[in-house]
Amino acid sequence: MTVNPTEEFRAQLRDWLQENCPQEMRDGGLAENAICWGGKNWVFTSDAQKQWLERCAAKGYTVPTWPVEYGGAGLTRDQEKIFHEEMGAINARSPLQSFGIWMLGPALLHFGSHEQKLHYLPPIARGEVRWCQGYSEPGAGSDLANVQTKGEDKGDHWLVNGQKIWTSYADQADWIFALVRTDKDAPKHKGISFLLCDMEQAGVETRPIKMISGISPFCETFFTDAKIPKEQIVGTENRGWDVAKYLLTHEREMISGGGAGLSGGGRALGAVISDTMEEMDATLRADAMRCEIDALSIGLTLERYKDQAEAGQGAGDASAMLKYMGTELNKQRHELMMSAGGSDALEWDGPLGNRAGDWLRTKANSIEGGTSEVMLSIVSRRVLGLPA
């Protein structure tokens, strides 16, 4: 009898998941306090969370499609689909979430040297190093190419001075990847380099930004005569904009996937709502179904773009469309959960947890990774070809 390799892989994976995924990790785990971010200072919420990360990292399942030599499992695109299907079948939590996985990793795989990949990627895959993103500045948000954080060439290193803002989780990160102007006389899209910097070194300071949600993932980051060695540049000097654009595409795809409820496991919206309502009224039920259908639609669209990327065609400017839709879906989902929770959902630490804080946090989705207005402008001009 001929063995189907695809079905054989699925069966082996299913057996492995059943044997290795702790029961405690089979709840979807989309709440903020259920996420494992990893890093040098990460404190596991339970032994089960630690075991799940270690077991997945040992198999390369935190980054399933990365090459084995860089900490991944070396899965094909079709195998990756099966992996996510089987994870979803048992409602398994994502073992690790990380800006290193979503953003820096793809950039390093595309632009980094072999030595850089060997040095930086495996610790990301094992959850040993946590990264943050140093892009936005007080005068360079939507106009990102206007960055003014500067790096002076000192021979074997750059001396970096400047400020970043809205640096998510900078106060908890070990390293930062940052856009730094290394040629002040070049046009603004030129003269920018993509640098990697240790957050614990002298000259780097972070200050959390308080938000209405009560949660403060955002920070200001200051560089004061911070020394960044020359070998910590990714790509070509003064061509960091190429790396930045490539990374932004992956960031927007990541945000769209999170908005659609596609990152990791996750229960259907209707099931979450039914936990807090004995009987769902018809209007809320219809809205929940519409949101779920939209989530499935964007999920299929994401899969299509991933298949195109496998064939050498990335999402490109269409990532703006994905990011916008993911943002809107996430906001809709939390609006519906607030409606279902009634007065209990207004409490910051009540029977439904911090549902109000989670709802308020979604408002930042319209800003991070590119504002909704900028995303719509990109879609209209570069995807639909409408006049400026």
State the DSSP string of 350-373. Answer: BTTBSHHHHHHHGGGGGTTTS-HH
Report the length, in residues, of the chain: 388
By DSSP bridging, strand 131-134 and strand 175-181 are parallel
Handedness of CA 119, 124, 130, 132 (dihedral sign): positive
Candidates 220, 251, 292, 328; catalytic one: 251
Is 292 among the catalytic positions? no
How far is residue 80's CA from residue 64's CA, in Å, rounded to a whole number?
7
How far is residue 266's CA from residue 94's CA, in Å, rounded to a whole number?
9
Q: Which residues of 112-140 are buried (b: 16+ CB within 10 A; e: fewer)?
A: beeebbeebbbbbbbbbbbbbbbbbbeeb
How far is residue 212's CA from residue 116's CA, in Å, rounded to a whole number?
39
How far is residue 21's CA from residue 85's CA, in Å, rounded to a whole number?
15
Write the CB contacts of 368 (distance below 8 Å, at least 6 apart in sequence).
Answer: 166, 168, 255
User: Could you give the residue numbers annotated as active site?
Assistant: 251
